[in-house]
Structure 1
């Protein structure tokens, strides 16, 4: 078993967005991690989920220690994520044979395989990566160089983990209401306040927000960004308490807690009145990671559901061969494949944006919340349907489906629940006309397709024209009307982007002689956007599930008679 095998979505994305010079190293990393995720890491994750961490606030002498005790299975997962595979270091330094840092897409694809075994730990891994990125972008290099080095280290003796403390009881979404305060103590800042939902609360490096003296009241301009270290230079613990750990529905292997900062020493990051804008960079990085993680949950759930239907026989026929089951599996497979296409394209956009491409910077600004909004919520439905396919055993914890469902629900909540994210898309549209830039990029993609995709390119171009007009109307409407419409619009935007990207993958594979299977997937997804079911895709479901390439042209007809 290897999660990198028989994953046609992964194969297509690697072929499309990994350059030739990076291919051998990428393949080697994914091959190794895919095998490990399917065996050792999956077994460890199951044990860690059943043995959540515990908080030990005092030692036997009554001294306050606030230490979290982890099961050995979680600790081994940490060694794999941070040290063996360096998932939090992949965007920062050369590892796994790269002299310079690998492309962003490598990190997202490697993490996608890891998350199929363990979802909870991926949150601290993402925050560690994002903390290093944020400190590098906004922090003083002389002050933070050693911290960045530790956050991106793969050496167990020197590596550190990161966390992001934003949520307060009155300021989860409305950051302007942040009550934590930062006060000057000579040349030092001291932070006091309570953070209500803090994942990885015993992290070595905490990025947080606090109000500063003289800052604007009831405004994000009055909130600064600070780095709070767990340990001070003399080795003593910084002045904050972990009050308790949360009893969560999912991600039970990874601790989330309530933390009180009690005059904790913090280091100022960047300009004081731009703290929230700087934190947005960290949040956006984590939001794209959220979409990747939800994609991984979908892939794991669908893979396991397909395997079950091929083993289970009902009324003398394998479930996989029964028409209604095929119609049930098809949209799940399409959703998983489309989501990974969106993650791959977004990672490539992020790479270009970091290299100074202004167009890519605008695209990633809207792609990130858009992907977070649609993919994370869709994962809840896909994992739930996959659990039902497994029947009664799917509802039993021992079979793993229940864990996927529990974990999937968090993706659409943390780092901004769905409504918050939809409003962020609306903000992008208002400030940057981002929907128009996205439509232009997608239509430009459609214009280079070959004859096999010509009819679908025409259909998608029409959809993009309609989406731009809808977006313009939404922006011209009053605020209440725009808010009501923005969530549905975001989902329509996401589905049309994914449909376009599936055809982009299909055109690429056809042009490079890799077969016709991806065109079958793209046509089926496009048909589904109009509420149709592709009869050809139902008949050829094994090709979609297994990634078998088809050299000959497939007649892409639909059950409902629509052209696709």
Structure 2
């Protein structure tokens, strides 16, 4: 088993989106991690899930230590994620996997996508470590060079892991209610307050928000601070881990409740912009959530494909039975579409960091769109995959139960779905980001010239025009009606982005001589976008190619488009 080899979408996307030199350089790592994730990491993850971290509050002499004891399986996964594969380091410096400069963003997300198909919990600390280094590098690199180096180290002896302690009991969604107080001591600050949900609670470098006296109310009054695990003199910092959370999923990773008891801290960047700086960390974590949800979907789909091919019912493999095919097909196209959107967001994030203003606006809306839609869909895909396996899927001996448990995290952490939809709405109101989104994807559709691709491009162009009109109608409505419409409209935008990306990739694969498989997938996704169903989809008769890769002829892909548009007319009638 090799997760990369079993993914029909991954390598063709990398072929299309990376330079030839970058693509050649990363291939051995993709091949290796695909195998390691399917074997060693998968076994380690199952063990770590059963052997959860333990809080040790006191040593044998009764001294308060608040240490977390992890099972060796989790520690070995840390070696692989941070050390061998450099998942938290590659965005910050050269020297990882042969790159002289930092690694292209899409490679980080591709490797993380493979890793997360076996281990979800650890990828939260990996993401926060990566994001903490990013925030310090963006907003205060002169004052924190040692911390940035430690957070982006691939040497386990010098590595520091990161965390974001932001949520308080009374102020989760409404961060402006944060009441942790910061006190200035001249050469440092101290923080006092309670943090209610602290993941990677054993982190070495913690970024948090606290209220700066005299700075104002709400989020205006919040500054960002770095709280190290140890003070400069080597003593443990003054915060208490009260207990660990008993979570539904991500059981391998420790989340806890923390009381800051005059904890030693240093301000980060401009104290008057603390919340805006923390938003940068949140946004990168939100994209990571979408990536992880995409990985869970791929793993769930693969489990379902393998099970239904092995399971014979009434003399025929389940995979060959029509109703099961109708169950599997939407799961397959959802997983493939999600990966394309994650990679698109990764490319736009990299362009934004390089100073592209259009990309900066796009990533402002694409990130919450991806988190909202992909994370929600992952819950459905993993749940359907559990049912496909039947009773065994409900038993912890198989991976399905863990996939379902973990899948619910993405829609909750770093902002629940409603919070995220309102963030999309905010980007529309403040940045007119929907106009940039529509202009960008219409322009890209207009550039698709292959005759096999062009008909669907015309349909999607009209859909984008309708969505622009709908967006303007929403923004012209009352604040109440705007907010009520935000969730459904976010999904409409996301699905149209994914349909456009599938079609764009289909033209690339046709040009590369890979045939019309991707176009079949794109037309199938378009059918559901237009009609809300895949009833009667021609791809049901070519499910092997959708599942495994390969090629179909142009006529088959054209038949899928013709069926989609006929079905749209029927649905309208």
CA separation in 2, counterparts of 1:186 and 1:461?
Answer: 59
Asked if 2 retains the 8 angstrom alpha-carbon contact of 1:290 and 1:372, the reply is yes
**RMSD, aligned α-carbons:** 1.2
Q: Where do residues 300-449 of structure 1 align in structure 2 (5 Å cutoff)?
A: 300-449=299-448
1:231 aligns with 230
Give, in angstroms, the shift of residue 531 of structure 1: 2.4
Give, in angstroms, the shift of residue 12 of structure 1: 2.6
Asked if 2 retains the 8 angstrom alpha-carbon contact of 1:225 and 1:272, the reply is yes
Which deviates more, 303-312 or 186-195?
Answer: 186-195
CA separation in 2, counterparts of 1:13 and 1:227?
Answer: 38
CA separation in 2, counterparts of 1:160 and 1:551?
Answer: 52
CA separation in 1, counterparts of 2:532 and 2:160?
Answer: 49
Give, in angstroms, the shift of residue 512 of structure 1: 2.0
Asked if 1 retains the 8 angstrom alpha-carbon contact of 2:82 and 2:88, the reply is yes
C-alpha change, 1:555 and 1:170, in structure 2 (3 Å) is closer
| Alpha-carbon displacement from aligned partner over 1:143-200 (angstroms, at most 9, x marks no partner) | 2001000000001111110000110011111111101010012321100100000000
Which deviates more, 391-400 or 233-242?
Answer: 233-242
Q: Where do residues 106-505 of structure 1 align in structure 2 (5 Å cutoff)?
A: 106-139=107-140, 141-217=141-217, 219-449=218-448, 450-505=450-505
SS of aligned partner of 1:562: helix
Asked if 2 retains the 8 angstrom alpha-carbon contact of 1:532 and 1:558, the reply is no
CA separation in 1, counterparts of 2:564 and 2:521?
Answer: 15
Length-normalised TM-score, structure 2: 0.97
Asked if 1 retains the 8 angstrom alpha-carbon contact of 2:527 and 2:561, the reply is no
CA separation in 2, counterparts of 1:499 and 1:435?
Answer: 17
| Alpha-carbon displacement from aligned partner over 1:511-530 (angstroms, at most 9, x marks no partner) | 22221110010000000112
Which deviates more, 549-558 or 485-494?
Answer: 549-558
CA separation in 1, counterparts of 2:523 and 2:26?
Answer: 29
2:34 aligns with 34
CA separation in 2, counterparts of 1:247 and 1:560?
Answer: 51
2:565 aligns with 563
Which residue of 538, 541, 545 corresponds with 1:539? Answer: 541
1:511 aligns with 511
CA separation in 1, counterparts of 2:561 and 2:146?
Answer: 60
Which deviates more, 326-335 or 23-32?
Answer: 23-32
1:59 aligns with 59
CA separation in 2, counterparts of 1:185 and 1:552?
Answer: 71
1:8 aligns with 8
CA separation in 2, counterparts of 1:441 and 1:11?
Answer: 25
Give, in angstroms, the shift of residue 436 of structure 1: 1.1
Asked if 1 retains the 8 angstrom alpha-carbon contact of 2:132 and 2:207, the reply is yes
1:72 aligns with 72
Give, in angstroms, the shift of residue 62 of structure 1: 0.5
CA separation in 1, counterparts of 2:126 and 2:212?
Answer: 29
CA separation in 2, counterparts of 1:186 and 1:306?
Answer: 62
Aligned length: 562
SS of aligned partner of 1:197: strand
Asked if 2 retains the 8 angstrom alpha-carbon contact of 1:312 and 1:318, the reply is yes
| Alpha-carbon displacement from aligned partner over 1:107-156 (angstroms, at most 9, x marks no partner) | 000000000010000000000000000000011x3320010000000011
| Alpha-carbon displacement from aligned partner over 1:299-353 (angstroms, at most 9, x marks no partner) | 0000010000000000011000001100100000000000000001110111111
CA separation in 2, counterparts of 1:16 and 1:55?
Answer: 47
* Unpaired segments ≥5 residues, structure 1: none
Asked if 1 retains the 8 angstrom alpha-carbon contact of 2:523 and 2:557, the reply is no
Give, in angstroms, the shift of residue 562 of structure 1: 3.4
CA separation in 2, counterparts of 1:338 and 1:416?
Answer: 23
CA separation in 2, counterparts of 1:124 and 1:203?
Answer: 8
Give, in angstroms, the shift of residue 29 of structure 1: 1.3
1:99 aligns with 100
SS of aligned partner of 2:564: coil
CA separation in 2, counterparts of 1:296 and 1:474?
Answer: 33
Asked if 2 retains the 8 angstrom alpha-carbon contact of 1:532 and 1:562, the reply is no
CA separation in 2, counterparts of 1:482 and 1:400?
Answer: 40
Length-normalised TM-score, structure 1: 0.98
Asked if 2 retains the 8 angstrom alpha-carbon contact of 1:532 and 1:560, the reply is no
* Unpaired segments ≥5 residues, structure 2: 567-573
CA separation in 2, counterparts of 1:559 and 1:390?
Answer: 31
Asked if 1 retains the 8 angstrom alpha-carbon contact of 2:192 and 2:259, the reply is yes
Give, in angstroms, the shift of residue 99 of structure 1: 1.0
Asked if 1 retains the 8 angstrom alpha-carbon contact of 2:523 and 2:564, the reply is no
SS of aligned partner of 2:257: strand
Give, in angstroms, the shift of residue 555 of structure 1: 4.5
Asked if 1 retains the 8 angstrom alpha-carbon contact of 2:456 and 2:561, the reply is no
| Alpha-carbon displacement from aligned partner over 1:442-483 (angstroms, at most 9, x marks no partner) | 111101111111110111011101111111011110000000
C-alpha change, 1:560 and 1:246, in structure 2 (3 Å) is farther
CA separation in 1, counterparts of 2:285 and 2:554?
Answer: 42
SS of aligned partner of 1:451: coil
Which deviates more, 89-98 or 114-123?
Answer: 89-98
SS of aligned partner of 2:61: coil
Asked if 1 retains the 8 angstrom alpha-carbon contact of 2:519 and 2:557, the reply is no
